Amino acid sequence: MSERHVNPWIVAFSVMLCTFMEVLDTTVVNVSLPHIAGNLSATIEEATWVLTSYLVANAIVLPMTGWLANFFGRKRLLMYSVAGFTLSSFLCGAAPTLPLLVIFRVIQGLCGGALQPISQAVLLEAFPPEGRGKAMGFWGLGIVVAPVLGPVFGGWLTDSYSWRWVFYINLPVGILSVLMVHWFVFDPSYIKRDETARIDYWGIGMLAVWIAALQISFDKGQQLDWFSSPFIVGLLVIAGIFLAAFLVREMLAEHPVVNLRIFKVGSYSTGVFLMAVLGFVLYGSIVILPIWLQTLMGYPATRAGMTMAPRGMGSMIAMPLIGMILPRFDPRKLLAGGLLMGALSTWQFGQLNLNAGYWDLFWPQFIQGFGLGLIFVPLTTITMGRVPRESMGNATSLFNLMRNIGGAVGIAVIAMLNTRYQQKYINILGSHVAQGDPATQQWLGSLRSMFLGAGAGPGLADQRAYGAVFGLVQQQAAMRAFLDIFKLLTLVFVLMIPLVLLMRKPKKGEGGPAKGSDDVPMAH
């Protein structure tokens, strides 16, 4: 289909709808798992496959999106993906059993995997080079804000209606998105549907195996105690073998499903690595903060979600603002500033205590959200700045894949460190609570007297006193673990800053694909 002139902001809104819907679905189901498990007569552990199945299917399709767009046509693939995602959302909401729900989530993940990279590629081409910063600022709202709003929105729908509405809510958004894509999105002239091209079946198969094995190992690792589990070790070995085979295959294949030659562009390679690390920090902090709010601060789920809202507020203010001022500044300086703000926010989290009030939590999150805007828009613009138009779909696919893999690693590592640090501090703090210690004896005596005064017998009062002491030790150990994790995330932010120097400064007016010296060799 030939290119037509459409107001780029209409195109932006069209692809933003489906992107926001898809990203929201990666986190919106989390808070509904207990309700899903209870309603479908399953355990919480069994219900987690509702999350895992979606993430695995999503990750498999992500890196293939550029190839799929060239094979089917970008507009056609985008419409089919949105329609499939919307239909599978309805089937998820109507699922009568857990196995069927998992199957429908796989379909939803397969359809949703293509939405982010295609939307990003469409948006980068809809705007002229000098306007791509604004476009990425608008698009980035969905990528950064949706994971934050997901738990809040999911909790409200589940509490107010039913867990099934977490899926049904996608129907009107999906239908509107399909119509807008049909009306306003058109394929560029260089994309021609080619169903006669040879299909890299070996590459697709290897890709599916290593990504699925890696994703499942990340999701189940903490639950199964990582390397103590033969299942997890086996998955990691399979992932490593098939990843190595996949890389060799794609470098040698005449028609690779993923064109790895794009990594010859230095700024792109550095940008993809930074995005993976950013995914690690972003998703890791999103996971640990609500756990801390609910287990240590005693916040109910809805209040915990609302307490996390300032992060989204900061991003909503920063994204459009940075998009407007980006052409006037060196984007590398803005990127470095965003990383410094991220480090400041996690350092502030590392100074909190159990007496923290609302404003103590507000400002670190707002600063982090604003910093993410400073990071995301310049990082995307610099990373894609020297990528040829013909490679854009492939480039955005790998860019989004690495963010998701970084997020999966971040969630797994932060959950593991949280458990390990708590165990360490329980041992350290518990060693100071000794029977012969006068302060401990006085403390236990006061607690015992309190429980006796409340009507408990001598034996029960002793039991409750010891339980209260151990509970306090656990609470303080969990707090120390939380602080250590955020100090670690601060270090990660700081270590990313020197990598910005490896990225080339964009030429004046450059903010998108450019042909010339940095053209990537294409597979034929």
Residue 514 in this model has a pLDDT that exceeds 60:
no
Q: Look up tokens 């001022």; give the residue.
A: 325
Q: How confident is the model at residue 524 (pLDDT cuts 50, 70, 90)?
A: very low
Rounded Cα distance, 431 and 473, in Å? 10
Residue 276 CA, chain-centre distance (Å), reads 10
Mean pLDDT of 246-269: 85
Listed ranges 16-20, 377-381, 484-488; the one with the highest mean pLDDT: 484-488
pLDDT at residue number 455? 67
pLDDT at residue number 287? 73
In contact, 388 and 514? CB cutoff 8 Å: yes
For residue 178, the number of C-alpha atoms closer than 13 Å in the C-beta half-sphere is: 14
Rounded Cα distance, 410 and 146, in Å? 18
CATH architecture of 263-429+483-513: Up-down Bundle (1.20)
Rounded Cα distance, 343 and 491, in Å? 7
**In Å, how far are 12, 152, 314 from 325, measured between CA atoms?**
19, 31, 17
Describe the crossing of helices 132-160 and 266-295 by its angle, rounded to 10 degrees.
30
- Of 11, 394, 390, whose CA–CA distance to 191 is shortest? 390
What tens digit of pLDDT does each residue of 357-376 get? 888 989 998 998 899 888 88
Give me the percent of the chain exceeding a pLDDT of 70. 86
Mean pLDDT of 307-336: 83
Higher pLDDT, 366 or 225: 366
Residue 44 in this model has a pLDDT that exceeds 80:
no
Task: At 493, give phi and psi (nearest 5°).
Answer: -60, -45
Give me the percent of the chain exceeding a pLDDT of 90. 16
Lowest mean pLDDT among 98-107, 186-195, 251-260, 415-424: 186-195
Q: How confident is the model at residue 378 (pLDDT cuts 50, 70, 90)?
A: confident
pLDDT at residue number 439? 67
Residue 519 in this model has a pLDDT that exceeds 50:
no
Where would I find the beta strands (DSSP E) of 325-416? none
Residue 508 in this model has a pLDDT that exceeds 80:
no
In contact, 40 and 98? CB cutoff 8 Å: yes
CATH topology of 1-188 equal to that of 263-429+483-513?
yes
Describe the crossing of helices 458-496 and 331-349 by its angle, rounded to 10 degrees.
170
Residues 6+ apart with CB under 8 A from 193: 71, 72, 73, 76
Conformational region of residue 200, where left means phi above 0, alpha means psi within -120 to 50, and beta covers everything else: beta
Q: How confident is the model at residue 338 (pLDDT cuts 50, 70, 90)?
A: very high
pLDDT at residue number 522? 41
Rounded Cα distance, 335 and 333, in Å? 5
Q: What is the DSSP letter of 390?
A: G
In contact, 382 and 336? CB cutoff 8 Å: no
Residue 511 in this model has a pLDDT that exceeds 70:
no
In contact, 479 and 353? CB cutoff 8 Å: yes
- DSSP for 155-188 reads HHHHHHT-TTHHHHTHHHHHHHHHHHHHHH----
Residue 184 in this model has a pLDDT that exceeds 60:
yes
What tens digit of pLDDT does each residue of 274-306 get? 989 888 888 787 778 877 887 788 777 667 767
Rounded Cα distance, 127 and 140, in Å? 15
- DSSP for 400-468 reads HHHHHHHHHHHHHHHHHHHHHHHHHHHHHHHTT--TT-HHHHHHHHHHHHHHHHTT--HHHHHHHHHHH
Residue 512 in this model has a pLDDT that exceeds 50:
no
What tens digit of pLDDT does each residue of 426-460 get? 888 877 776 666 666 666 677 777 777 666 677 77
Residue 488 in this model has a pLDDT that exceeds 90:
yes
Mean pLDDT of 200-218: 87
Q: How confident is the model at residue 192 (pLDDT cuts 50, 70, 90)?
A: low
- The token pair at 89 is 């959302």
- The token pair at 111 is 């359809």
Lowest mean pLDDT among 3-7, 74-78, 374-378: 3-7
Rounded Cα distance, 380 and 259, in Å? 19
Q: How confident is the model at residue 196 (pLDDT cuts 50, 70, 90)?
A: low
Higher pLDDT, 192 or 175: 175
Mean pLDDT of 169-188: 86
pLDDT at residue number 442? 67
Q: SS3 letters for 48-106?
A: CHHHHHHHHHHHHHHHHHHHHHHHHCHHHHHHHHHHHHHHHHHHHHHCCCHHHHHHHHH
Q: Look up tokens 């098939």; give the residue.
A: 242
- Of 182, 197, 155, whose CA–CA distance to 71 is shortest? 197
Averaged pLDDT of the chain = 81
How many Cβ atoms are within 10 Å of 197's Cβ, its own excluded?
Answer: 12
Residue 521 in this model has a pLDDT that exceeds 50:
no
Rounded Cα distance, 346 and 483, in Å? 9
Q: What is the DSSP letter of 511?
A: -
Domains of the chain, residue spans = 1-188, 200-256, 263-429+483-513, 430-476
Sign, Cα dihedral of 216, 222, 227, 231: negative
Residues 6+ apart with CB under 8 A from 427: none
Rounded Cα distance, 37 and 50, in Å? 10
Q: What is the DSSP letter of 254?
A: S
Rounded Cα distance, 67 and 437, in Å? 69
- Of 342, 279, 319, whose CA–CA distance to 497 is shortest? 342
In contact, 513 and 389? CB cutoff 8 Å: yes
Describe the crossing of helices 458-496 and 392-430 by its angle, rounded to 10 degrees.
140
Domain 1-188 CATH assignment equals 3.30.2290.10:
no
Residue 247 in this model has a pLDDT that exceeds 50:
yes
Mean pLDDT of 78-104: 92
- Of 140, 110, 117, 123, whose CA–CA distance to 185 is shortest? 123
321 exposure class (CB count in 10 Å sphere: 0-12, 13-18, 19+):
middle
Lowest mean pLDDT among 36-45, 189-198, 495-504: 189-198
How many Cβ atoms are within 10 Å of 171's Cβ, its own excluded?
Answer: 14
What tens digit of pLDDT does each residue of 229-242 get? 899 999 999 999 99
